[in-house]
Amino acid sequence: GAVVSQHPSWVICKSGTSVKIECRSLDFQATTMFWYRQFPKQSLMLMATSNEGSKATYEQGVEKDKFLINHASLTLSTLTVTSAHPEDSSFYICSAPPGQGLLNTEAFFGQGTRLTVV
Amino acid sequence: DAKTTQPNSMESNEEEPVHLPCNHSTISGTDYIHWYRQLPSQGPEYVIHGLTSNVNNRMASLAIAEDRKSSTLILHRATLRDAAVYYCILRDCTGTASKLTFGTGTRLQVTL
């Protein structure tokens, strides 16, 4: 089946630094990818929609200048957390739905990235 | 997106069947019912989905009420590896966006 690979699986960084998270679709092309954030004991919250060749669409309340998204190719989307602070510590998950236009198909998720800002 | 309501948690003994309910009274005619589960410290994984008819696959069965206002995910023989948070999600098949909106889900605990 389709695979979405996320890297790194975990990262610890100092406050004020930037962290880049990669999301790759390994055996299919994804013109759209989704980025979620999940705090402990909570559900996944959609942060933004990454669109290949165009600007990302951010959900209300998500700072686009802080969470930079680049969808450089049909198989790669990156999320950069800029000037990270401890409150940005969370589990970040990407998703890619294969079969664009076939909305009754399953979505595939990366394994997630645990970000800890110290 | 139409909302779903699930119990916060459920418990099951290993090797026994588990029925996970989901209410979606405001479901529209074009909404598919999707189920995903999330094991600890992992991304969600697809379980099953359906529109009107009951569905079976190697992981589970999905029973959909005749009026489509509720559905039940059935794990026929729970194992310890099935301990996860199960999410019931409605997905509109007519729009251009295919994002998934997650609710709180049901945390399933499986004991020996």
> pLDDT tens digits, residue range B10-58?
999 999 999 999 999 999 988 899 999 999 999 999 999 999 999 999 9
Task: For residue A31, give Cα distances in angstroms to A1, A23, A50, A114.
Answer: 18, 13, 8, 25
Which structure tokens are listed for A69?
A: 């998204």
Give the one of B94, B101, B104 whose C-beta lies nearest to A46's C-beta: B101
From chain A, pick out residues whose CB is under 8 angstroms from the CB of B50: none
Rounded to whole angstroms, how far apart are CA atoms A49 and A69? 9
Rounded to whole angstroms, how far apart are CA atoms A46 and A36? 4
Instruction: Examine the pLDDT at B6 and tell me if it is beyond 70.
Output: yes
Instruction: Examine the pLDDT at B93 and tell me if it is beyond 80.
Output: no
Smallest Cα distance from B17 to chain A, Å: 24
What pLDDT, on a 0 to 100 scale, did the predictor assign at position B82?
97
SS3 B97: coil
Q: Are the Cβ atoms of B41 and A49 closer than 8 angstroms?
A: no
B94: DSSP letter: S
Instruction: Examine the pLDDT at A43 and tell me if it is beyond 80.
Output: yes
Q: Are the Cβ atoms of B45 and A45 closer than 8 angstroms?
A: no
B76: DSSP letter: S
Helix, strand, coil shares of chain B, percent, nearest 5, are 5, 45, 50
Tokens 């000037």 sit on residue = A83
What pLDDT, on a 0 to 100 scale, did the predictor assign at position A104?
59
Percent share of chain B, pLDDT over 90: 81
Q: Are the Cβ atoms of B43 and A95 closer than 8 angstroms?
A: yes
Instruction: Examine the pLDDT at A56 and tell me if it is beyond 90.
Output: yes
Give the one of A43, A45, A110 whose C-beta lies nearest to B43's C-beta: A110
Q: Are the Cβ atoms of B43 and A97 closer than 8 angstroms?
A: no
Pick the residue from chain A with its C-alpha nearest to B51.
Answer: A104
Edge-to-edge strands, sheet with A4-7:
A4-7, A19-25, A76-81, A67-73
What pLDDT, on a 0 to 100 scale, did the predictor assign at position A98?
57
Reported as a single tens digit per residue, the pLDDT across B54-78 is 999 999 999 999 999 999 999 999 9
Least confident of A95-99, B45-49, B69-73, B103-107: A95-99
Query: Mutation test of the interface with chain A: which of B99, B104, B106, B107, choosing the one with the most A Cβ atoms within 10 A?
Result: B99
Q: What is the pLDDT averaged over residues A57-75?
A: 94
B82: DSSP letter: G
Q: What is the pLDDT averaged over residues A55-68?
A: 95
Going through A43-117 in order, the beta strands assigned E by DSSP cover 45-51, 57-58, 67-73, 76-81, 90-96, 108-109, 113-117
What pLDDT, on a 0 to 100 scale, did the predictor assign at position B109?
97
pLDDT band at B95 (very low <50, low <70, confident <90, very high): low
What pLDDT, on a 0 to 100 scale, did the predictor assign at position A115?
98
Rounded to whole angstroms, how far apart are CA atoms B67 and B83? 30
Which structure tokens are listed for B90?
A: 């409605």
Q: Residue B33: which of B57, B2, B9 has the closest Cα?
A: B2
Q: Are the Cβ atoms of A104 and B51 closer than 8 angstroms?
A: yes
Rounded to whole angstroms, how far apart are CA atoms B25 and B3? 8
